[in-house]
Copies of this chain bind each other. A is one copy, B any other.
Amino acid sequence: MRIAELSRRSGIAVPTIKYYLREGLLPPGELTSPNQASYDEHHLHRLRLIRALTDLAQVPVAGVRVVLEVLDSDTMSLHARIGTVHRAISPSRRLTASDDARTAAADQVRELIERRDWQVEPDAPAIGTLVETIAVLRTLGQDHLLGTLDSYAEAVERFTELEVAAVTSRTDPDQIAESVVIGTILGETLISALRLLAQENNSARQLGQNTRSKRRSEGTRRRA
């Protein structure tokens, strides 16, 4: 198929497809002549995957490129793929917390990892996020949200079990790789949406209509 049909079938504008080609997200079509290329179902699937990552999972284009390279690699182990994907989807954070808050948080995270006997690289990006988040929560006076950190850790382990179960139902290694990668990324979108719903449900049932706060500051104003 030519680019016009690819555009029609994917719902993505031709200039955008060309952009993805330029950015190396989409492999070039097979050239049948200097100005004619043909695309196939792979390209269509790729486009859908790209939009899933950008639209649903908010992965930036540069990250999508890395993810796709991981899927295309024929030498990476699954473990290496996961690591690379984790790095690709972890935004480079600006440090927000104070140094000693961070040090304390780092201790807490180290202990948590030991307690749960998690085998993770000491420079895994998620550790940095975790440390920074805990440090900031402390600084904001929200330590109490951390009392249940271990229970949270226990709960997320459940997710990985579910994911492993789902993924090992596939047999083709390529399929497994794609499942793991998509599961990692879109799984987060899924979990996050479910969590918001569970939260809304809980709020509707328990926190009710009548808990309001009296104020002391007069709030902020939007610019004119």
Contact = CB atoms under 8 A, between A and B. Distances in A.
Interface of A: 11, 22-28, 42, 45, 48-49, 51-52, 55-56, 58, 65, 68-69, 72-79, 82-83, 86, 90-91, 93-94, 96, 113, 116, 118-121, 124-127, 129-130, 132-134, 136-137, 139-140, 142, 144-145, 147-148, 151-153, 155-167, 169-170, 172-174, 176-180, 182-184, 186-215, 217-223
B191 A195 contact: yes
Q: Per DSSP, are chain A's interface residues mostly helix, strand or loop, or mixed?
A: helix
A206 B164 contact: yes
A159 to B, nearest CB: 6
Contacts of A121: 200
A156 to B, nearest CB: 4
Contact of A200 (B45, B73, B82, B221): B82
A184 B214 CA distance: 21
A11 B187 CA distance: 35
Tell me which of A56, A68, A151, A178 has the highest count of chain B C-beta atoms within 10 A of its own C-beta. A56
A77 B220 contact: no
Contacts of A26: 220
A27 B220 contact: yes
B218 A152 contact: no
A142 to B, nearest CB: 5
A52 B136 contact: yes
A223 B27 CA distance: 11
